[in-house]
Amino acid sequence: MTARWELGSLFDLAPWPVDAGADPGRRPWDEHDRRLTGTGRGALALALAGGGFRRVWVPSYLCQEVVTSIEDAGIPVARYADSPVDAEPGLAELALAAGDAVLIVSYFGVRRRQGASAAAAARGAAVIEDHTHAPCSAWALASTADYCVASLRKLLPIADGGVVWSPRGRALPPEPPVAAALAQAAATKLEGMVLKRLYLDGQAVDKVALRRLLAAGEAGLYAGTASGMTALSRAVLGAAPIGAWDRRRAACFAAFAAALPELPGVRLVRPEHADDVPFSALLELDTPARRDRVLQRCCERGVYPSTLWPLDVPGDDLPPAHRTLARRLLSVPIDMRYAPDDLVRAAGVVVASSG
């Protein structure tokens, strides 16, 4: 129990490994040829370079920095419809051509898209799967994609980190060295993580200043060039009890789900497959206004859900329903920083914030 209770936002310096000898879990990237990178975008860049693709199809609901990084690499991007609440991606009617790659996303660990992946491959496209939200899921472990990528710092308490692996044994460029810009950004972020730990422990640390460090470090991680993963993140990734942490998330999700009553306009998105472990407790609110109200009130009470991802980008190839969905979702962290009791408390905060 920390001296100052809050839940969410970027990682602090977590006490890793949680307990020595705890379950490291099965890691799909250790079962294939793989490269460890500084970021998820850097991992994707290696997959794209390896495949020499002419066009990349991306889902409409996606972190737009990922889309920009593909365009900046000079590869045309086209969109198909998919989101965390769609039953199936809208791939069937697309005119896939030779040289096309399709990026398929594992959304919040709540959906499996193996059928869509197989169908795209059967139609001649290369498949790149993004497993950021559930890198060791049953889907990721059984993947037959050309490439799989993940940004690892979203789920693990590391300042930087990404990985690309190829279940099909496709070519991958060599692992790049650690870029100076990434090392600098990761060091800045790490300062913020250490200070956040001290802050949570009750020390007289300036929260505004530590948040500035975290944001500056985060913003500097991807400088447009591929980078390897820092030595610290590599070591933590090697030692991290990912299997134990997956089970912790499952327990935290179950506690949150049990403690959250029926609330008007609030829906908890549950995993499609009961044995999948979600990335977070994803809440779908009925209107953007209610989402914004609940978000603000939660933050006033020390619960900081994420808004993943803003879709207010120009262009008419994004389904309006997905633009609105991006303004209706809240992602409540359930990771290894927390125990089930914390999520019971967080559910109480959501209840108090939703009236």
Ligand X SMILES: Cc1ncc(COP(=O)(O)O)c(C=O)c1O
Say if CB 130 and CB 40 are below 8 A apart: yes
The piece of 34-42, 168-176, 196-204, 270-278 that touches ligand X (CB under 6 A) is 34-42
Indicate the residue among 178 and 263 with the shorter CB distance to ligand X.
178
Indicate the residue among 185 and 347 with the shorter CB distance to ligand X.
185
**Among 27, 41, 111, 249, contact with ligand X (rule: CB under 6 A):** 41
- 63 binds ligand X, rule: CB under 6 A: yes
- 222 binds ligand X, rule: CB under 6 A: yes
Measured CA distances, 345 to 6, 46, 182, 251, 339 (Å): 10, 42, 36, 14, 10
The CA distance from 57 to 66, in Å, is 12
The count of residues interacting with ligand X (CB under 6 A) is 11
- 40 binds ligand X, rule: CB under 6 A: yes
- 162 binds ligand X, rule: CB under 6 A: yes
CB of 49: closest distance to ligand X in angstroms? 15
Residues between 231 and 270 that touch ligand X (CB under 6 A): none
Residue type, 322: H
What phi and psi, each to the nearest 5 degrees, are found at residue 38? -75, -30
**Among 7, 48, 66, 195, contact with ligand X (rule: CB under 6 A):** 66
| Tally of residues, the chain | 355
CB of 14: closest distance to ligand X in angstroms? 18
Say if CB 221 and CB 182 are below 8 A apart: yes
The CA distance from 200 to 292, in Å, is 26
The piece of 36-44, 52-60, 280-288, 343-351 that touches ligand X (CB under 6 A) is 36-44
The CA distance from 130 to 225, in Å, is 19
**Among 60, 117, 151, 354, contact with ligand X (rule: CB under 6 A):** 151
The CA distance from 297 to 285, in Å, is 14
- 318 binds ligand X, rule: CB under 6 A: no
- Contact characters 100-139, ligand X, x per CB under 6 A: -----x------------------------x-x-------
> The tokens of 148 are what?
């799989």
CB of 108: closest distance to ligand X in angstroms? 9
The whole-angstrom distance between residue 127's C-alpha and the CA centroid of its chain comes to 19
Residues between 182 and 211 that touch ligand X (CB under 6 A): none
Say if CB 295 and CB 253 are below 8 A apart: no
Name the nearest CA neighbour of 56 among 43, 38, 42, 74.
74
Query: Residues in the site for ligand X, rule: CB under 6 A?
Result: 39-41, 63, 66, 105, 130, 132, 151, 162, 222
